[in-house]
Amino acid sequence: MTLKALIFDVDGTLAETEEAHRQAFNDTFKANGIDWFWDVPLYSELLLTTGGKERMLAYQAAYHSDRPQMSFDEIAELHRQKTARYVEILAIGGLQLRAGVADLIKRAGNAGLRLAIATTTSRPNVDALTKCCWGKPATELFEVIATGEQVTAKKPAPDLFELALNQLQLSPENCLAFEDSRNGLLSAMGAGLDTIVTPCIYTKDHDFTGALRVISTLEGFDI
Ligand code: XBP
Ligand code: MG
């Protein structure tokens, strides 16, 4: 089958973004007088729930079931603030693409491959990342951008990769997915995609059974 498109996850795959997400969550909790603090080991466990709102709800249920529970709307408002804070953190600069990412995307474009995104994070965060790392809005780099707000079931459900495939109007046999986590791999595989995994700082111990290849970085990756 001819390769026609590459579909990339964002968080952990294009860049090591999770420390900026973690800081944005903690800054938001503090700004709202909420006594939650997510350290690295806790965040590592919480990342198994994809999506920031879903992660806060799961944390509240698992760690503070003895307290009055914040409603979905309250959590959604906190998440809105968290997104604004994340965008602010990335705007300061300093976040870099993972090794090999910029070069692979350039080579793929030159080779006539189409480029897409399938991420559980929301659209403002994708633009914040591309502006920070490429100095361009996401649409100048990726033809199709499937983000968390557009689906009801986030990863590990296949919906986000299926949405990207639909928008590309391609079948999975003609595409290759790039992921960094077990949930992302399950999502891509569920959509029928061959998947290259580059584990990130938070996913090194995940089970990547079923991946086409597991490699430390995309440096020199041969398309
Ligand atoms: C990444 C996530 C996201 C980010 C935070 O998953 O799980 O939830 O941690 O994003 P993936 P939001 O890389 O598999 O897409 O807070 O914007 O939801
Ligand atoms: Mg990821």
Series of mean pLDDT values for 10-residue runs along the chain (223 residues): 96 98 98 98 98 98 96 98 98 96 98 98 98 97 98 98 98 98 98 98 97 97 93
116 with 175, same domain? yes
Q: State the total domains in the chain.
A: 2
Domain boundary among 91, 113, 137: 91
Which region, left, alpha or beta, applies to residue 182 given φ > 0 means left and ψ of -120 to 50 means alpha?
alpha
Identify whether 67 is part of a domain.
yes
179 with 86, same domain? no
Domain boundary among 56, 91, 126: 91
SS3 state at 167: helix
Q: In this structure, what CATH number is given to the domain that contains residue 65?
A: 1.10.150.240
203 with 106, same domain? yes
Domain boundary among 42, 75, 91: 91
Ligand 1, pocket residues at CB < 6 Å? 9-12, 18, 21, 50-52, 83, 119-122, 125, 148, 155, 181, 183-184
114 with 185, same domain? yes
Identify whether 222 is part of a domain.
no
131 with 171, same domain? yes
- Domain extent, residue 66, equals 18-91
Angle, CA of 50, 204 and 60, to the nearest 5°? 30
Q: In this structure, what CATH number is given to the domain that contains residue 113?
A: 3.40.50.1000
Residue with tokens 């046999």: 173
Residue among 45, 55, 121, 208 to mutate when testing ligand 1 (max atoms within 8 A of CB): 121
Smallest CA-to-CA distance from 151 within 16, 58, 54, 80 is with 54
Q: Are strands 114-118 and 144-146 parallel, antiparallel or unpaired?
A: parallel
| Catalytic residue flag (residue 9) | yes
Identify whether 107 is part of a domain.
yes
**Cα(28)–Cα(204) distance, integer angstroms:** 27
Instruction: Give CA separation, 133 vs 44, 90, 127, 128, in Å.
Output: 24, 9, 10, 9
Give strand ranges (E) for the chain: 5-8, 114-118, 144-146, 175-179, 194-197, 213-214
Identify whether 138 is part of a domain.
yes
Largest distance between two CA atoms of the chain: 56
178 with 122, same domain? yes
206 with 127, same domain? yes
SS3 state at 144: strand
pLDDT at 1: 83
Ligand 2 centroid to 179 CA: how many Å? Answer: 6
Instruction: Give CA separation, 76 vs 11, 98, 110, 156, 213, in Å.
Output: 20, 30, 41, 21, 37
Is the CB of residue 118 less than 8 Å from the CB of residue 164? Answer: yes
Identify whether 47 is part of a domain.
yes
